[in-house]
């Protein structure tokens, strides 16, 4: 989707969630969402394992700040959330996005999928600790602050169900299945609290670097990460104030929103 088309399709309306923390915001889906939110007027804190890189990326977005954060490290999470809360004067929305993919354990996963029994335990732990435990640790640190403030929104980035059970996709598939289960339980735990929880996923393989371009399709048909901009901006808007425990597919967002408003 072109930038012009994306801007034309962007939902309008004033943002309710004006102070947003986006984990893994230096590239890919995280950067696309941070960019969309910043352009819509939100104050965004984006994070990355390299604080220098996070600050460089944030400098290119209006009103954004960059913060060092390793979501696997509890002490790092505590420091980063405290910094974001202080710099933004609160956090209205958390976007749990930081993650790593199959390439970290099997660079040839598309052409030569490996059986789960061949996956190195350290690689398994690294993916699960980032994609699942990381979501838990950041949400665990942010949620009490939101509850004390009386409001907040949490968006957990997920993936297609087919990815969660695909041949050769240990540990990525289980890590994403776990994060989806976590999201559902978080939503149940927070029902009626003033803090909402929703999931957002692109709807297919995206051009983020997690999928190599030398695979069977040569990298064709990969989804532009910009597809995440419109739905994340809408989730920060007044129109999404009561939206809770939804699983929104970005490539189907316009149809989903139309059907929702038609009811």
* Residue 3 in domain: no
Answer yes or no: is 8 within a domain. no
140: in domain: yes
Question: Is residue 229 a part of any domain in this protein?
Answer: yes
Residue 204 near residue 162, CB atoms below 8 Å = no
| Predicted local confidence at residue 220, as pLDDT | 56
CA 200 to chain centre: 7
Is residue 135 part of the annotated active site? The answer reads no
Q: Report how many domains make up the chain.
A: 1
Pairing of strands 93-96, 65-68: unpaired
Whether 188 is in a domain gets the answer: yes
pLDDT digits 0-9 by tens, 5-17: 444 444 445 899 9
In a domain, 149, yes or no: yes
Of 109, 135, 169, 172, catalytic:
172
- Domain extent, residue 213, equals 14-262
Burial 57-85 (b: 16+ CB within 10 A, else e): bbeebeebbbbbbbbbeeebbebbbebbb
- Which CATH number covers residue 22? 3.40.50.720
Mean pLDDT in consecutive groups of 10 residues from the start of the chain, 263 residues: 41 81 97 98 98 98 98 98 98 97 90 95 97 98 98 97 94 97 98 98 76 52 93 97 97 93 69
Determine, yes or no, domain membership for 253.
yes
Token digits of residue 255: 């149809």
- Half-sphere CA count of 94, side-chain side, radius 13 A: 29
pLDDT in the model for residue 156: 98
pLDDT of residue 261: 76
The answer to whether residue 250 is domain-embedded is: yes
């Amino acid at each position: 989707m072109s930038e012009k088309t994306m801007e034309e399709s962007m939902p309008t309306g004033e943002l309710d969630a004006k102070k947003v923390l986006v984990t893994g915001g230096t590239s890919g889906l995280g950067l696309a969402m941070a960019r969309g939110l910043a352009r819509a007027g939100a104050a965004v804190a984006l994070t990355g394992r390299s604080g220098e890189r996070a600050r460089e990326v944030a400098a290119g977005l209006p009103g954004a700040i960059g913060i060092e954060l390793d979501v696997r490290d509890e002490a790092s999470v505590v420091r980063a959330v405290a910094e974001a809360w202080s710099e933004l004067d609160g956090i209205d929305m958390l976007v749990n996005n930081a993650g790593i993919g199959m390439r970290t354990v099997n660079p040839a996963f598309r052409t030569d999928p490996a059986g789960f029994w061949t996956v190195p335990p350290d690689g398994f732990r690294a993916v699960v600790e980032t994609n699942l435990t990381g979501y838990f640790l950041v949400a665990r640190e942010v949620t009490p602050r939101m509850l004390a403030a009386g409001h907040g929104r949490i968006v957990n980035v997920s993936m297609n169900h087919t990815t969660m059970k695909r041949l050769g996709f240990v540990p990525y598939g289980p890590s994403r299945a776990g994060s989806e289960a976590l999201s559902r339980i978080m939503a149940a735990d927070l029902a009626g609290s003033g803090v909402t929880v929703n999931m957002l996923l692109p709807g297919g393989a995206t051009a983020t670097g997690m999928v190599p371009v030398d695979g069977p399709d040569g990298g064709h048909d990969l989804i532009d990460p910009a597809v995440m901009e419109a739905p994340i901006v809408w989730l920060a808007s007044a129109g999404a104030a009561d939206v809770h425990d939804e699983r929104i597919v970005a490539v189907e967002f316009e149809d989903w929103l139309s059907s929702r408003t038609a009811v």
